[in-house]
Structure 1
Amino acid sequence: MAEPGVALARSRIHRALSRPNHLMGADRELVLLTGLAAVILIFVVLTWFSVLLGIAIWAAVLAALRMMAKADPMMRQVYLRHIGYRAGYRPTASPWRRP
């Protein structure tokens, strides 16, 4: 407990150190990946229809990614960690414990 008359030290934490890394309101890596896929679609097919389709797909996916980021800014990292877990864990204290 602090002594009477002694002020506690305060440290400021810069906001850029604690906020998620987003681009255009969504997860940076997913936005860049979907943009790359849309550009590949546009330049492989090289028609006006593919340009419109690529832009429409990217806009729709970007809207979905923004909704996902608004719900939980770290949803991609949480999902990737979740799929690494096994379906069930045995109720033992150690993996080397004998049943």
Structure 2
Amino acid sequence: MDKRLLDILCDPVTKTPVKLLNRGQLDALNREIAQDAVKTVTGANVAAALKAGLITTDGKVIYRIDDDIPVMLADEGIGTTQLRDFPG
């Protein structure tokens, strides 16, 4: 992802800056998605594994990246408090 774009993106609700998920975080998230254990902040199941994602710098919310396009919609956020053993 372009560093300039990453520098201007933020959580649409809290305005907290975001950074790319690292490999450990992405793997941990996808393991739980495979177990059908992950929901968006609105309660919808996350059905498909993420190829890439962004996480707020406070580590509270994840947003997926689809085809190199960040999906920065408040309803699509994934709260990290629901994830077991999520690396910070």
Computing the radius of gyration from Cα coordinates, the structure with the larger value is: 1
TM over 0.5: no
More helix by proportion, 1 or 2? 1
> So what's the TM-score if we normalise by structure 2?
0.23
> So what's the TM-score if we normalise by structure 1?
0.22
